[in-house]
Amino acid sequence: MNFKKIKIILLAIPIILINQCNFKDSYYIAPSPDDIEKLGIEWCHIPAGSFIMGSEDIYANKNEQPEHEVYLDDYYISKYEITNAQYCAFLNAYGKNSYQGHDCIDLSSSYCMIYKRDGQYYVRRTYEDHPVVEVSWYGAKAFCDFYEWKLPTEAQWEKAARGTDKRTYPWGNHEAYYNKKYYANYNQMLLAADGYSITAPVNSFPQGKSPYGCYNMAGNVWERCNDWYDENYYSYSPFNNPEGPSYGSQKIVRGGSYGEISNFMRCSFRTKEEPYKTSKLVGFRPVKDR
């Protein structure tokens, strides 16, 4: 699938409002890596154990096969996708918009709700709690490395999304619109029928939570994983803590977005993107060991 394309270390109240063009945007001064609780990230614990990864149902693509059992050590994953506010805070602490020679975020995109002025980064009003988009894999990796976290492996992402009962979606097996209720922010072929024409706040759709309490692992934005992509990886992946192929040209993204129909939001659905690219449809969430 083809997608389009903070070092200030101050311990302070994180939000300072400033005037600009007759409206107020938000300026975030980030905590240092030694005081990361101030970022406000909540974590869901995923216990050690095995689960069935992949799918062989009638909707499954070749790259989702074969179904196979995977064992993972326990880990923690962010309850929510990383928000504009959190990523803005990171940029103001990190002090630059590049990592390993690549842009972290495309500030020129009209879909990017973060901008830079006078050397500082700001979030456009009302989008503070929406997932950050237009972040490359390198930008997501920079965030995780700065705070000594990681991007999830593809296996970690899928287990956090579906649990151990082989469910189709994080909430179960029924479709994303069920009993007159939306379970995710996705493309229903009716503009904003679920209440959002683009991204939704990261704590939206609580009825769509995963078995471990993670929000929006289906829809809203695609989420970046650490693994390189190989269509045939499931045919040779190890049983214990698989970390993906050792090399490749594209990185895994998972979960679907506000721009896709429900089939793309299935927990087992796999696709990919070049790590240097950015998209209005793609964000991320981190994991940690403890």
CA dist., res. 176 & res. 186, Å (int): 8
Coil vs helix vs strand at 76: strand
Q: Provide the residue-wise pLDDT of the chain in tens; the chain has 290 residues.
A: 655 442 222 223 233 232 333 345 766 655 555 566 768 999 999 999 999 999 999 999 999 999 999 999 999 999 999 999 999 999 999 999 999 999 999 999 999 999 999 999 999 999 999 999 999 999 999 999 999 999 999 999 999 999 999 999 999 999 999 999 999 999 976 666 778 999 999 999 999 999 999 999 999 999 999 999 999 999 999 999 999 999 999 999 999 999 999 999 999 999 999 999 999 999 999 999 98
In-domain check, residue 106 = yes
User: pTM here?
Assistant: 0.89
Could you tell me which of 180, 249, 239, 186 has the C-alpha nearest to residue 217? Answer: 186
Tally of structural domains, the chain = 1
The answer to whether residue 231 is domain-embedded is yes
3-state secondary structure (DSSP) of residue 220: coil
- Does a structural domain hold residue 2? no
Domain that holds residue 283: 15-288
Output the pLDDT for position 263. Answer: 96
> What is the distance between the alpha carbons of residues 124 and 112, in angstroms, rounded to a whole number?
9
Question: Please, what sign has the CA dihedral across residues 66, 71, 77, 79?
Answer: positive
**Any domain includes 239:** yes
Answer whether residue 97 is part of any domain.
yes
**Is residue 217 in a domain?**
yes
In a domain, 7, yes or no: no
Pairwise CA distance, residues 5 & 273, whole Å? 10
Is residue 251 within 8 A of residue 228, CB to CB? The reply is: yes
Q: Determine the pLDDT at residue 30.
A: 52
Specify the CATH number for the domain of residue 134. 3.90.1580.10
CA-nearest of 91, 95, 82, 97 to 128 is: 82
Q: Whole-angstrom Cα distance, residue 67 to residue 216?
A: 24
pLDDT at residue 16, as a whole number: 29
- Taking only Cα atoms into account, the Rg of the chain, rounded to an integer number of angstroms, comes to 18
Domain assignment present for residue 248? The answer is yes
Q: What is the pLDDT of residue 209?
A: 98
